Amino acid sequence: MAPAWAVALVAEVCAAAGAPEPTLRWRRAARAASSGVTRPEGGVVALTAGSDELDQRLTLLHELAHWLTPTRRRRRGRTAHHGADFYAVAFGLYRVHGIPDAEALAREGGRYPSSLRHARALGVVGADEAWRRHRRALADRARTRRAPRVLVAEHTVRLVRDGRWTRCSVCGVRVVGPTLARLRRRSGRHLLLDVG
């Protein structure tokens, strides 16, 4: 059974939008975060409610935004599920129905980073900063990927036996299979990188 506040919220949101009400399905999950799904064809909004009450509310409003913006509109063959139209409705609902902007940005942005771009365009307070932070994090990650740290400088492989295995005595890497066969035929070079 859905809690009374959730039933009331569905009624209020749909009345304000002049939309029919979906059937609200509600079940509980033993975790903090909620998740939801909207089936326009079945007339159903289904929520799996975690323990965090603000997250329950935000997730229900997210699904109601789907309910109010059925995305039959397709762009390049793909449904714009979380597009500009959707987020105009979603962030509007969050604001009107008691989700502070900072919480909306943190939670929606945590699940769907692309929402930050839309929130910024919609002028949600704090969205510009959150969007910039996200872009910086992506750039940092790309930079560390492009420049792996050299763990062991480039060297000529020196094969040594180590029990059942053969290793390179310079860097300690185990050499097996076709690589071992090749290195036995002719010398090779090693460069050990940390790509983590």
The answer to whether residues 181 and 157 touch, using CB atoms and an 8 Å cutoff, is no
Question: Does 134 interact with Zn ion (rule: CB under 5 A)?
Answer: no
At a CB cut-off of 8 Å and minimum separation 6, what does 92 contact?
A: none
Binds Zn ion (CB under 5 A): choice among 14, 46, 170, 180: 170
- Closest to Zn ion by CB, 141 vs 158, is 158
Quickly list DSSP for 106-122.
HHHHHH-TTHHHHHHHT
CA angle 56, 10, 91 (to 5 degrees): 65
The answer to whether residues 170 and 152 touch, using CB atoms and an 8 Å cutoff, is yes
Question: Does 104 interact with Zn ion (rule: CB under 5 A)?
Answer: no
Question: Does 116 interact with Zn ion (rule: CB under 5 A)?
Answer: no
- Closest approach, Cβ 95 to Zn ion, in A, equals 18
Binds Zn ion (CB under 5 A): choice among 49, 61, 168, 175: 168
81: left (phi over 0), alpha (psi -120 to 50) or beta: alpha
Question: Does 171 interact with Zn ion (rule: CB under 5 A)?
Answer: yes
- Closest to Zn ion by CB, 54 vs 173, is 173
Question: Does 80 interact with Zn ion (rule: CB under 5 A)?
Answer: no
- Closest to Zn ion by CB, 122 vs 171, is 171
For Zn ion, what does the binding mask look like between residues 15 and 54, x meaning CB under 5 A?
A: ----------------------------------------
- Closest to Zn ion by CB, 141 vs 165, is 165
Number of residues interacting with Zn ion: please give it, by CB under 5 A. 4
CA distance 16 to 24: 17
Question: Does 183 interact with Zn ion (rule: CB under 5 A)?
Answer: no
Tokens 């009450």 map to which residue? Answer: 53
- Closest approach, Cβ 194 to Zn ion, in A, equals 14
What is the strand order of the sheet 23-28 is part of? 23-28, 44-49, 35-39
CA dihedral (114, 59, 64, 123) positive or negative? negative
- Closest to Zn ion by CB, 37 vs 125, is 37
The residue ranges that bind Zn ion (CB under 5 A) are 168, 170-171, 190
